[in-house]
Chains A and B, each alone.
Chain A
C-alpha cells in the first residue's frame, strides 16, 4: 500500500489536520499490521508509535466485539499530559493522533472524517459510505 502512495501527499493531510484542530502535536499513519506509512512527528519514535497504534486498535476492536457494544469507533487514551487517539482508515490502515491536554476533541471529531476519507482515497481503499 505504502509503495503506491506518495508519502508527501499523506504528510500534507496530517499537517492540514494539525492546522485545523487545536492541540494536535503529532500524528502517525500506519498499515493495519503496524508498519509505518508516514509520520508527522517531533518527539515520538514513528515506528514504535505505528506498531503500538495497530495493537491499540486491534485490542479495541476485539474488546468491542467481546462485550457486544457494537463496532469500534475510535480508541482514546487519556494521559496526565494529553491524549492518544487511534482511528481506522478503512480496514487496511490507521491514524494515530497525539494531542496535549487542551486537545480540541470536539474539533477532532468534526475534522477527522474528512481527513480519514482523503487518506482512504490516497490508499485506494475508499470505505463504502
Chain B
C-alpha cells in the first residue's frame, strides 16, 4: 500500500475488525481488509455460509458447502486419482501452514498452471454460491490457518464482485434467476431419452446424474463441476426441453435470498477507488484516504458514478463481528 503514514494509519483504523462501523456487509468488509492488506479469514455464518481466506487483502480461497472445493473438482472429475490425493496429504509438512497445492505440484500430480486454473474457477464458483446463501453474520479471524489449497497471490475483491455480478445477471437475463434455480431439483424430461443422439456428452452426463433429487449444487458435487457451469448447462438444456423441473418445495423460513434484479448489461466498469464511509466524517472517503472527489463532482459524471457493485449482489447483513 502506498500513501503517507497518516493515510495508512487511517486506513488501519477503519479496517480494525473490532470497529463496528468498519463495514456494512461482506463486500464492504473485503474492500476494507484489502486496503489494510489483512491476512486471515472471514467466517460467514449465513446458510450455508463459508470461509473466505485472505492473504494481504487478496482473496485466495473460499470454502463453502454451496460449491465444490478444489479437491472435489479434481477428485470427482477423475483428474486426480484418490491414491495420489491421499499420498499428497500424507506428504504434507506438519503444522498449520501445509500447502497441499504445492505438494501436489511437487509430486507431479498436477501442473502448477492447471492447478491455478482450477483454484481460480473454484474461487469464483464459491463466491457465486455465497451470494445465493441466506444472509447472516460474520466473524473476522486473524489467526486462522490458510486454506490447504489456495490461489496465490489471490484475487482482488473488486474483480470477484464484478465476476459474481456478471454471473448472476447472465442467468437472470437467460430467464433463470440463480436464487430460484438453486432450489430446483431436476429430472430428465420424458423425451430426453429418445433424443440422446444429438446431445453433447456434457449434457448426457448431467441427464444421467439428474435423479429428481439433486439441485444444481448437488449435480456440481456429484460430477466435479462448478455450480455456475452446471446452472448454465441446465438453462440451455431446459431450452431444448431436455429437463423436467421438480416443483420446488417452499423454502423453510421464507425465500432463501432476496436477490435484487441486477441492472441489464454488463456490470458498470469501476475506474477508480470506490467511496467509503469512515466514522466521524460526513463525506465519503476515497480509497487513498483523501476526501472523496465525488463530493466535488457535479453534472452527469457524478450522476453516473457506479453504484457499489456489492450492494446489488451481496446481501449479507452484519449482525456480529469480533476479532479473536
Instruction: Give Cα A18–Cα B82 distance, bound, in whole angstroms.
Output: 27
Query: Is residue A104 within 8 Å, beta carbon to beta carbon, of the partner chain?
Result: yes
Known: A19-B252, A23-B221, A25-B218. A101 touches B68 (CB 8 A): yes
Contact with B along A17-31 (1 / 0, CB 8 A): 011101101000000
Query: Is residue B75 within 8 Å, beta carbon to beta carbon, of the partner chain?
Result: yes
Which residues from A are CB-within-8-Å of B67?
A: 102
Q: How many residues of A contact B (CB 8 A)?
A: 17
Contact A80 B82 (CB under 8 A): yes
Would you list which residues of chain A between 67 and 94 have a CB under 8 Å from chain B? Answer: 80-81
Look across to chain A and name the residue whose beta carbon is closest to the beta carbon of B85: A80
Among A18, A81, A102, contact of B69 (Cβ-Cβ < 8 Å): A102
Query: Is residue B117 within 8 Å, beta carbon to beta carbon, of the partner chain?
Result: no
Query: Is residue B121 within 8 Å, beta carbon to beta carbon, of the partner chain?
Result: no
Query: Is residue A100 within 8 Å, beta carbon to beta carbon, of the partner chain?
Result: yes
Would you list which residues of chain B between 243 and 281 have a CB under 8 Å from chain A? Answer: 249, 251-252
Contact B82 A16 (CB under 8 A): no
Contact B249 A101 (CB under 8 A): no
Contact B252 A20 (CB under 8 A): yes
Contact A23 B65 (CB under 8 A): yes
Contact A101 B218 (CB under 8 A): no
Known: A19-B249, A19-B252, A22-B65. A100 touches B48 (CB 8 A): no
Cβ distance A26 to chain B, nearest Cβ, rounded Å: 8
Contact A107 B252 (CB under 8 A): no
Contact with B along A98-109 (1 / 0, CB 8 A): 001111101100
Query: Is residue B172 within 8 Å, beta carbon to beta carbon, of the partner chain?
Result: no
Among A42, A80, A81, A107, contact of B48 (Cβ-Cβ < 8 Å): A107
Instruction: Give Cα A23–Cα B68 distance, bound, in whole angstroms.
Output: 11
Cβ distance B173 to chain A, nearest Cβ, rounded Å: 26
Contact with B along A45-83 (1 / 0, CB 8 A): 000000000000000000000000000000000001100
Contact with B along A115-129 (1 / 0, CB 8 A): 000000000000000
Query: Is residue B72 within 8 Å, beta carbon to beta carbon, of the partner chain?
Result: yes
Query: Is residue B76 within 8 Å, beta carbon to beta carbon, of the partner chain?
Result: yes
Instruction: List 13 additional contacts besides A18-B213, A104-B47, A104-B48; criterion CB under 8 Å.
Output: A19-B249, A23-B221, A25-B213, A80-B75, A80-B85, A81-B76, A101-B68, A101-B72, A101-B221, A102-B221, A104-B65, A107-B48, A107-B65
Residues of B participating in the A interface, judged by any CB pair closer than 8 Å: 47-49, 64-69, 71-72, 75-76, 82, 85-86, 211, 213, 217-218, 221-222, 249, 251-252
Residues of A participating in the B interface, judged by any CB pair closer than 8 Å: 16, 18-20, 22-23, 25, 42, 80-81, 100-104, 106-107
Interface CB pairs A-B, < 8 A, 8: A22-B48, A23-B218, A81-B75, A102-B67, A102-B72, A102-B221, A104-B48, A107-B65
